[in-house]
Amino acid sequence: MGEDAVNDIKRVAVVVASTRPTRICPGISTWLQRELRSAHEASSPVGLVQYGSIDLAEVNLPFLDEPLIPALGQYQHEHTKAWSRTVSGYDGFVFVLPQYNWGYPAVLKNALDFLFEEWDDKPVTFATYGTHGGSMAAAQLQTVLAGLHMRELDDHLEIVITLDDLDRDWQVKDLEAVLAPYREHVRRIDRQLLDALTAAEAPITH
Ligand SMILES: Cc1cc2nc3c(=O)[nH]c(=O)nc-3n(C[C@H](O)[C@H](O)[C@H](O)COP(=O)(O)O)c2cc1C
């Protein structure tokens, strides 16, 4: 592959946005990343999008502790500079998050609030999950992503995980079976990401 082709490759992060010690989020995120990769390999043999992952438990940010507002980009703490470099290294994002008490996890809001320009104008979508799919977490997150001037794709996932799907330790008994119905939807998301990442960049006016 030539240098130009390598420069054209877009990087998308699948973000694990639950940090609980017994979280089910990594399993769902790994499945999603794998399915996005295989959908992409099937539709774009030259591989225009590379799917990576970010685990907010590993990023391990404190609560927002920068003295200046993030929109100024004048970060004082090394953890913020490191987070800025990580986010700047990706062209698009797929957040994977549970619904908590009709909202989305505070750890994700905190990670979003730490930065500003780094999110600006980048394509984004997400997968929520909960006993009814997490639509209320989705609605809240959509508002914040618009506030950050991100480009939300047409499609996102709302994954239904009922109590019957869980074992006595609150882990998903058969993750493949629970997630299989969403496979076609993941293909659509890969195509929408590719379109958004390769589209001419029109300015956002809101
Ligand atoms: C603080 C908290 C609040 C929750 N609120 C909801 C909720 O509003 N709706 C829902 O369907 N499930 C709710 N649940 C259940 C979660 O969907 C379930 O625990 C899931 O495993 C959480 O994802 P995680 O394990 O990756 O953190 C809640 C769980 C926690 C820990």
Report the pLDDT value the prediction gives residue 151, as an integer from 0 to 100.
Answer: 98
Interval 53-80: pLDDT, tens: 999 999 999 999 999 999 999 999 999 9
Write down the pTM of the prediction.
0.94
Convert the chain into a string of H (helix), E (strand) and C (coil). Answer: CCHHHHHHCEEEEEEECCCCCCCCHHHHHHHHHHHHHHHHHHHCCCCCEEEEEEEHHHHCCCCCCCCCCHHHCCCCCHHHHHHHHHHHCCCEEEEEEECECCECCHHHHHHHHCCCCCCCCCEEEEEEEECCCCHHHHHHHHHHHHHCCCEECCCCEEEECCHHHECCCCCECCHHHHHHHHHHHHHHHHHHHHHHHHCCCCCCCC
Question: Which ligand 1 atom is the nearest neighbour of the CA of 131?
Answer: 11
Q: Is the pLDDT of residue 201 over 70?
A: no
Interval 14-24: pLDDT, tens: 999 999 999 99
In the chain, pLDDT over 70 holds for what percent of residues? 93
> What's the mean pLDDT when you consider all of the chain?
94
131 alpha carbon to ligand 1 midpoint, in Å?
8
Q: How many CA atoms lie less than 13 Å away from 87 in the CB half-sphere?
A: 25
Report the pLDDT value the prediction gives residue 46, as an integer from 0 to 100.
Answer: 77
Question: Which ligand 1 atom is the nearest neighbour of the CA of 101?
Answer: 8
Q: Is the pLDDT of residue 45 over 80?
A: no
22 alpha carbon to ligand 1 midpoint, in Å?
11
Q: Is the pLDDT of residue 200 over 60?
A: no
Interval 125-169: pLDDT, tens: 999 999 999 999 999 999 999 999 999 999 999 999 999 999 999
Q: Is the pLDDT of residue 120 over 70?
A: yes
- The stretch 109-123 carries a mean pLDDT of 98
Q: Whose CA is nearest to atom 25 of ligand 1?
A: 23
pLDDT band at 44 (very low <50, low <70, confident <90, very high): confident
Report the pLDDT value the prediction gives residue 167, as an integer from 0 to 100.
Answer: 97
18 alpha carbon to ligand 1 midpoint, in Å?
10
Residue 4 tokens, joined:
């130009």
168 alpha carbon to ligand 1 midpoint, in Å?
15
Question: Which ligand 1 atom is the nearest neighbour of the CA of 129?
Answer: 17
Interval 20-41: pLDDT, tens: 999 999 999 999 999 999 999 9
Is the minimum distance from the CB of 131 to ligand 1 under 6 angstroms?
Answer: yes
Distance CA 161, CA 46 (A): 35
